Structures are given as C-alpha cells and as structure tokens.
Amino acid sequence: MSKITTSFPFERINFIIMLVGIAVIGLGYLLMVGGGSDDPNVFSEEIFSFRRLTLAPIVILIGFAIEVVAILYTPKNKQ
C-alpha cells in the first residue's frame, strides 16, 4: 500500500490575507450605513454623500481584490 499524503491548498499567510480582505469589505459596508431621516416625510440629502456613493464601493472593490490575491498567492517556500 502506498502512503497518501494530503496538504492544505492554503498556508497561514493566505488565511491572514483573507481576513484582511474581509475586514476591508466590512469597512466598506460600514461606510455605507446611515444617512436616513428619522421622519419618513422628510427627505435627507445625506444619502447622496461622497462617502456612500463613491468611497464605500471603492473600498469594497479593494476588499474583493485583496480576496483574489489571497486565493492566488503562493508562498515562495511551497513547491
């Protein structure tokens, strides 16, 4: 019988990079929160702020890019 060896496809560094990516995505969603009015009959212009329409989606896309890097990253010492 031959001995079967298994190894994980990801190293510890991959999981660390993934956690950073998840944190950046979460930060992007937190930047989108808020801006509503307490009174439903009053319109608030705050929902059209730079932070919600531009900054938050860019941060979320950066987080997804970090996730792709975490998946594709191969440490130098791995054969």
For residue 79, pLDDT over 90 is answered with no
pLDDT score of 36: 74
pLDDT score of 50: 93
C-beta of residue 57 within 8 angstroms of C-beta of residue 28: yes
C-beta of residue 12 within 8 angstroms of C-beta of residue 54: no
C-beta of residue 7 within 8 angstroms of C-beta of residue 31: no
DSSP 18: H
pLDDT score of 1: 62
pLDDT tens digits, one per residue of 32-76: 997 777 788 888 788 889 999 999 999 999 999 999 999 999 888
Alpha helices for 3-76 (secondary structure H) = 12-32, 50, 56-72
SS3 call for 40: coil
